Amino acid sequence: MPDLWEPYRTRREGRHRLTSVEITVSNWCNLRCRHCAVGDSLVAQEPDRLPLDLILRRLDEVEGLLTLSLTGGELSGSLAALRSFVLPLLQYAGDRGLKTQVNTNLTFELGRYELIAPYVDVFHITWNYRDVEHFHRTVWGHGRQDVSPAASEVLYTRIVENARALAAQGCFVSAESMVNRETAGHLGRMNRFLAELGCRRHEVHPMYPSDWAADLPVLPLDEFREAVRRLLAERDPDLWVLFGTFPFFPCSPLPEDQEILAAVRKAPNVTVRNCPDGRNRLNIDAFSGDVRVTDFAAVPPLGNIRADRLEDVFERWQRHPRFAPFNCYCPEAGCTGPNLLVAEMYYPGVDFRTRRAAPVTA
């Protein structure tokens, strides 16, 4: 299946096009992960969502829409919302022939995921855990330290069993790991565990320095390269590894960056996806109607669906000064430029429009 979230594929006539919408359908979560990039948005009690009709009308207006992603918080936490809001959105997508992704922590009973499975192309889960003990330390890092290790183990086991069950039923389960100090040396083992569960893809991203993760140490790029080398050497080669928001670019003047890019290109079953945020995708907050370039609060809203058409908001971002330094494109390398937060974290002050992909040598 072609990757319809890949912005390189959706550029037309020299311009990025809005082909993907992500909706934040929940601001509630039962976990409190230390690295959560939307942690500050989480609430104990959710306000009312906007009328579904308004959201569907705004989606209807996007003629070239190809994909719909639903994210949170945890979208399966409320069975009522799952039935009355998440399911109709997914059914709308199915009727329109859109590819769908749901981001979930899989900690609730399997039946909730089976309810939506017929309409889901990708179950996207987070997997930043070395083992059950590390899970316990990680997922309560921002509160609820009173949760017992035994209670954490119940959740950990449920994620594992749900992922295994959904994969066995033929669902496409894609697990995302972020590369940080906690995971960098363990990605190979995590990858092999995901393969055992039946996951079809392992997404590997840098940790985003947003919200609760903002004060965590940024992994230096030399350690990041080492983590990638080690993952390539230790992974299960049958499990597709997708590097997203990869912090190494074909225009880099550094030989070590070109080497890591060549190693990734050469590895079987390994791909790099350009970042969709603002290049073919926008995020809608289903509660406020705010439209952002990503669900991370670090980027202020660009508009609101109560007043704005999504295509207009997308054009606003294309002209936005914060996007300008990263709004580059090297078709010879299939590269559409860096993710905003990753570029600001690793390449402050660099204007990527002045750079050009180096010729491929390997």
Residues near ligand SF4 (CB under 6 A) are 249-251, 328-330, 333, 335-338, 352, 355-357
**Closest to ligand SF4 by CB, 78 or 327:** 327
C-beta of 55 vs 335, nearer to ligand SF4: 335
Which residues face 69 on adjacent strands? 22, 101
Which residue number, 41 or 245, has a Cβ lying nearer to ligand SF4? 245
* Comparison of 86 and 328: residue with beta carbon closer to ligand SF4: 328
Q: Is 345 helix (H, G, I), strand (E, B) or coil?
A: helix
Name the minimum Å distance from CB 332 to ligand SF4. Answer: 9
Q: CB nearer to ligand SF4: give 100 or 294.
A: 294
Minimum gap (Å) between residue 114 Cβ and ligand SF4: 41
Helix (H) or strand (E) holding 231: helix 221-234
> Which pair of structure tokens corresponds to residue 73?
């918080």
3-state secondary structure of 9: helix
Closer residue to ligand SF4, CB minimum distance, 156 or 352: 352
> DSSP states of 113-149 as a string?
HHHHGGG-SEEEEE---SSHHHHHHHHTTTS-TT--H
DSSP per position, 150-178: HHHHHHHHHHHHHHHHHHHTT--EEEEEE
Q: How far is the CB of 360 from ligand SF4 (least distance, A)?
A: 11
In the bound state with ligand SF4, the residue whose beta carbon lies nearer, of 242 and 291, is 242
DSSP class of residue 188? H
Strand partners of residue 296: none
> CB 20 → ligand SF4: shortest distance, Å?
19
Long-range contacts of 329-332 (CB under 8 A, 24+ apart): 329/11, 330/250, 330/251, 330/356, 330/357, 332/357, 332/359
The nearest distance, CB 357 to ligand SF4, in angstroms, is 4
* Closest CB 327 distance from ligand SF4, rounded Å: 9
Report, in Å, the least distance between residue 26 CB and ligand SF4. Answer: 33
DSSP output for 71-93 = ESS-TTS-HHHIIIIIHHHHHHH
